Each structure stands twice: as structure tokens, then as C-alpha cells.
Chain A
Amino acid sequence: MINDRTENLLLAVPGILLLALAFFLPIAQMLALSVSGPDGPTLAPFERFLSDPYYLGILWRTVRLSLLITVICAAIGFPLAYIMTKVGPRVRLWLVVMVILPLMTSVVVRTFGWMVLLSRSGLIPELLRDMGLVGRSFALMQTEAAIVIGMVQVLLPFMALSVLGVLTRIDARLEEAARTMGCSFLQTIRTVVLPLALPGIVAGSLLCFTLSASSFVTPSLLGGARIQVLAASIYRSVTATPDWPFAAAQAVILFAGILLLLIPYIRLTGARHG
């Protein structure tokens, strides 16, 4: 006869096996490959990356753009999520659909839409030229601005949903109390809603930054070959110039960089609330 523990173990074993063989083992293998050379362990791929101004430039651009994208997503995502909690159930459902539809649409398809909109003869540059805001030779494609626009649209749903999850759990009476005590609407937002929503904004920002720093489909299609980001450089090291140890080293740098930036961030907000 089997007991409770055996039954639960049997239920969990297929998943544990799958994760071990198709998740943890491959990642361990990649970590090992990043420090393995033809004659024993080596840090040569890391030295090559960290001593070349070209690759350091790619690293700096990745960090800079990811920060910018994260800040813009937070600035749009917080008010959007707040409004979603205040409207009636029908409008709210439509707003949820408006956020989830792009989220569930393939990134390739969405990037294609931006390629059409931002291209030389596309709607947005044409509009800006007609309004006289930019010169005749103005272009958006293959610029950092194009990457930021495309990535904000890709990542905004993550931010909005993450803030929404926290906002729906806030006691509505806190806001009412602040208002009856004489706070104006904007004061209430600043002193009550925003601090309470902070965990959601932080979680959303972590997600946006991580996804932004590690994505290459949108940046390489909108930014072109000259404006490389780290993830695009990894993809190129795997496909164009097959150099797997170098690709693995770059992936390790990406992962370490994300951890390095996120740990103090979590500590900071954890201390303030804990």
C-alpha cells in the first residue's frame, strides 16, 4: 500500500525530472561552458568581453535603455492600473482585454506592427514631418528611440498587471479616510495610494528591467545591426559566428548584471517595508 507521502512524491516526480533534465542541468552546463577552454578552465571569454570597448558599449546601452524603458513603463503603468480599479466592471473588463491582448500576442507580430509604423514612410514619422516638428530627413527606424517605443509597448502590460494585483488588495476605506480628513485627490494619491502600491511597482520594475535587458527580437528588428544590445550580441555569437563559450560568457554577464542590480533594489524596498 502506498502512503500519503508516496502519493505526493509520485505526483511531483514527472515535474521534478523535467525541470532537472530540461532546465537546471542545461543551465549548469552553460555555466560550466562559459569558463571552459581547450586546455582547462579559463576566464578568457570574460576578459575578451570586459576589455573590448565595443562590447562595453553594448553593455552600457543595454543598461541605459532598460532603465529608461522601466521608468516609462512605471510612469504609464501606475496611473493605468489605478484607473482600472476605479471604473465600473464593464469598462474594467475592456481595459483588462486591452492590456492582455497585446501581452498574449507574439512579440514578433507586435514588433512587425512597429516596423510599419516607424519606417521612413510610416505613419509616425510622416505625422511628425507634417506637423513641422522634424526635418525632412528624420528617421525613427534603426534608432534607440524605436527600441524604447517598441519595448515599452511590449512590457507595459507586465507593469500594469503587477501594479493592479497590489492595488486591488488595498483597503478602499484608507483612501476614503484620507479624503474625508481633507486631503485633495492628488494628495491622497501621493500619500496613501502610491506608498501602498510601491511593492507592485517594484515587482513590475524588476520584471520590466529583466525582460528588457534580456530581449533581442524587438531590439534587433527595430534597432538594426548597428545598434546592438547584449541579448542581440549573444544571439549573434550563437548563430552568425558560432562561438559558444563567448555566447555563454555573455549570458553569464547578463545574468550576473541583472542579479547585481536587483539584489540591492529588493533589499532597499524590503527594509523600508519590513
Chain B
Amino acid sequence: MVRAVPVWLRLAGVVFVVLTALVLLAPLIVVVGVSISESQFIAFPPNGLSLRWYEAVLSSDAYLGAGWISLQIAALVTVLATLVGGAAAIAIHRRQLPFSELLATAFLSPLVLPTIIYAIGMLMFWSAAFGTVTPMVLALSHTVIALPYVVRTTLAVLSEADPFLEEAARTMGANRLQRLWLVVVPQCLPGLAAGAFFAFNISFDEAVLSLFLRGPTLTTLPVQIYGQLEFSPDPSVAAVSTIMIALTIALIAIIERMLGLNRFASA
């Protein structure tokens, strides 16, 4: 006879999940709460409702400028990481290169190395070579840390794809470019799309590389927020942060609708 799971344990499980959810989501809820506060100072729970801090953000050159830079860099990173990472994943998946195991490890290695160590290396290398850090250098560094995500999602999709489809296309007379573009790339598409969304999210939210590689004219949104937090934040920081949270929720909703979160959550 199987003894049932005791009721107190089931109850404990429910309480545990609720408490964990509270801890995980508390900082986000608080930020949203502060952003709609009427008060001059940061306060939670908010006293009085108002959208004045959103107006303050939308009329602030510092926030708008940083937001524009972040968007441009994230867009560039998304395109670069998806193209470069997707192509590399196809090559790795075929296992025809003599060093494809080593190659796979190399492409995943930015995941393992702590970002701060990489950030110092980038700063020292590019400042020594060119005297200054350009937006392109920051975008390249974001691309490097986004690359493993694109490679991983694309490899995950390819490992479930039908390998004989490309063979069939070959026998039917398709040339190399046609096979790649009409057979392999469509097979990769869900992985490429998921990788692209992750790449955008990584670049848009990234703070460590952006802090090390920042310059007078190169301040991304997270760096701008960090600077505010170090000194005297007013609720406008909460309004910007809420906008960033909303963007993240939108990205998660798109990934779930298009591809299903579960597929990548436990990959």
C-alpha cells in the first residue's frame, strides 16, 4: 500500500511556493509601485497615484538619450548574434569540420567566463589599440556574450530536425545555397527566433560590460539607472525601470506564444 503524501507536506509545499514567488517578484512589484507614486521621494507602498514620473522620464534628455543608445546597440547585437551564431551552429551541427567539438566549446565559453573578467580584457585591449571605446566595441562585446544563447537554441532545434531533408533536396538537384536557404535555415527558424529575442534582452539589460566600456557619449539605460542609484534617486528611476520590466514581459509573452517557454526553460 502506498502511503499518501501527508497533507501538512502538501500545505508546506504551497506555502513554500507562495513565499518563493514573493521573494522573486517583490523587487519588481516594488519598482512598479514606486513609479506610480505621487510623492517627491521614493516610497513604498506609494502614497497617491500619479503618472508624473513617467512624464519626467519622457521629458528627460538623459533618459531618452540613454534609451536610444540602448535600443540601437540591442538592435545591432540582435542582428549580429543571430547571423553569426546561427551560421556557426549549422556548421557545428553538421560535425564535418575536424575540430567541431573544440568549436562548440569555444562558442559556449563566454557563458562560463565571468563577465567582469571579460569586461576588463575588452576595456584594456581596445583602449590600448584605439585610445577610446566606440559604440561598435560595446556592441561587439554584447554580441560575444549573446552568441552562446543563439548557438544553444539553434543547436537544440537542429538536433530535432530531420537530417534527410537536406539529402532529399540534394538529390532533387538543389544547389548548396538553395539547400542552405530553403531547407536548413527554415529548419533552424524557431531556434534563431528564440536566440534573437534572448540576444536583444541580454544587450538591452546588460550592465557590467556597459559600465566598464562606458564613455561620456556612450551611456546605456542600465548605466544611466546605475548612476542614479549611486547618488540620489527620485521616483523617475522607478518609472524607467518599470518600462524596462514591461519590455521584458512583452519579450517573454512573444517567446511563449511563438515557441513555448517550457522548451527553453529546461533545455
Contacts and interface: CB of A to CB of B under 8 A. Distances in A.
A27 B117 contact: yes
A30 interface: yes
Interface in A146-176: 152-153, 156-157, 161, 164-165, 168
Given A11-B91, A238-B212, A113 B118 contact: no
B73 interface: no
A121 B34 CA distance: 14
26 contacts: A11-B87, A14-B83, A15-B147, A16-B103, A16-B106, A18-B143, A29-B128, A30-B121, A93-B256, A93-B262, A105-B244, A106-B205, A107-B207, A113-B26, A115-B233, A116-B34, A179-B3, A184-B3, A186-B9, A214-B117, A215-B208, A221-B229, A238-B212, A251-B117, A255-B114, A258-B114
B237 interface: yes
A251 to B, nearest CB: 5
Question: Which one of B124, B144, B267 has the highest number of Cβ atoms from chain A below 10 Å of its Cβ?
Answer: B124
Nearest to B126: A26
B92 A12 contact: yes
A217 B208 contact: yes
Contacts of A79: 13, 16
A133 interface: no
A214 B116 contact: yes
B144 A105 contact: no
A165 B152 CA distance: 14
Contacts of B161: none
Contacts of A134: none
Given A104-B248, A235-B211, A27 B34 contact: no
Interface string A89-114: 00011011111111011111111111
A166 to B, nearest CB: 9
B114 A106 contact: no
Contact of A100 (B109, B118, B225, B252): B252
Majority DSSP secondary structure for residues of A touching B: helix
A248 B124 contact: yes
Contact of A116 (B44, B83, B88): B44
A231 B2 CA distance: 52
A83 interface: yes
Contact of A108 (B13, B118, B128, B229): B229
Given A5-B96, A12-B97, A92 B262 contact: yes
A28 B211 CA distance: 21
Interface string A107-130: 111111111110101110000000
Nearest to A169: B266
Contact of B120 (A97, A115, A179, A248): A248
B225 A251 contact: no
Interface residues of B, number: 92
Interface centre among B143, B245, B251 (most CB of A within 10 A): B245
Contacts of B116: 214-216, 231, 234-235, 251, 254
A25 interface: yes
Contacts, number: 262
List the 5 shortest-distance A-B pairs measured between CB atoms, nearest first.
A113-B27, A214-B114, A26-B121, A106-B205, A26-B125
B28 interface: yes
Secondary structure at the B interface, as helix, strand, loop or mixed, is helix
B222 to A, nearest CB: 5
Contacts of B208: 215-217
Interface residues of A, number: 86
B90 interface: yes
Given A19-B106, A76-B20, A165-B266, A101 B117 contact: no
B207 to A, nearest CB: 5
B107 interface: yes
A106 B2 CA distance: 46
Nearest to B98: A5
Given A23-B144, A105-B205, A238-B123, A211 B114 contact: yes
Interface in A1-18: 2, 4-5, 7-9, 11-12, 14-16, 18
Contact of B261 (A29, A97, A108): A97
B238 interface: yes
A33 interface: yes
A51 interface: no
B103 A238 contact: no
Contacts of A121: 43
Contacts of A180: 2
Contacts of B201: 104
